[in-house]
Amino acid sequence: MFILAVGVHLHYKSFVRTKKIRGLKRRQKNIDSWFEANKHINLKLLEESGYYYCKSKVDPWSNLYFDAFYPSDYRKQLFSRLMDIYDNWKSELEAGFQDYYLAIWVFDKRFIESQVVAGIGERISYYENMWKGHETNVPFPKKLFNNEQDRIKLFSWVSADDMDFVYERDYVDTSIEDYYSPKDYYEDQRYYRKLIESNAPFRLIGDKGEGEKVFTLKRGNVWIGKNNDTPTRCII
């Protein structure tokens, strides 16, 4: 089960087109710049909002939505950098907070959504209850990140469903006048009909199951990773 998550898209359409990325060697600078911009946690924003996160979104892939797949070498680099960011943030959080939440969320099908997430105050319990782990834990895909075998072993990885929630009201309570163009309206209506015709799974959210209809679409798996070496005084 997936509960509303900070930094995670909840609405997805499968017909988004892909785009070929050229000049991969030149993109290395983008990865380096992304890391430099995120290697330290912004403590001011953390204290103001109660949470802070860093996604593995790097241009130009970040402009292509979910159909953007990093080449394997770049995915490995980004995973390593996420672990570096986790280590840096952990040291900075320990220096300023007694209790905090800190984890790496690694998505398999949508790796571009992978992120390091930190929380304090009420956000600690919020994030701790966000994911419902699988009854039988799915092993972390270590082969995808064989450059980090040693560090992967230092983490506990809990698997859960990576899901999108699509609210029926967004399609039945709208009219063509609500859209910038008729094309967008008819595109959404075709998508809604596809959900109905395919008998997409759904749940009713509300009292006694009589609430609004929400389609639940599984996109893959996500692993929530926490360092085993974290002091017991810290909640992660």
Q: For residues 218-236, give the mean pLDDT.
A: 74
Q: Are 216 and 165 in contact (CB under 8 A)?
A: yes
Contact 41, 120 (CB under 8 A): no
Is 81 in contact with 125 (CB distance < 8 Å)? no
Give CA–CA dist 132/7, Å, rounded: 18
What pLDDT is recorded for position 12? 41
Grade residue 1 by pLDDT with cuts at 50, 70 and 90: very low
**Closest alpha carbon to 225 in 148, 156, 154:** 156
The pTM assigned to this predicted structure is 0.76
Whether residue 118 contacts residue 101, with contact meaning beta carbons closer than 8 Å, is answered with yes
- What percentage of the chain reaches a pLDDT higher than 70? 79
Q: What are the backbone dihedrals phi and psi of residue 138, each rounded to the nearest 5 degrees, phi first?
A: -85, 125
The secondary structure element, H or E, covering residue 55 is: strand 51-55
Lowest mean pLDDT of 82-91, 139-148, 207-216, name the range: 207-216
Helices 28-38, 72-96: inter-axial angle, 10-degree rounding: 10
- Predicted confidence band of residue 25 (pLDDT cuts 50, 70, 90): low
- Binned at pLDDT 50, 70 and 90, residue 69 comes out as confident
Bigger pLDDT: 216 vs 48: 48
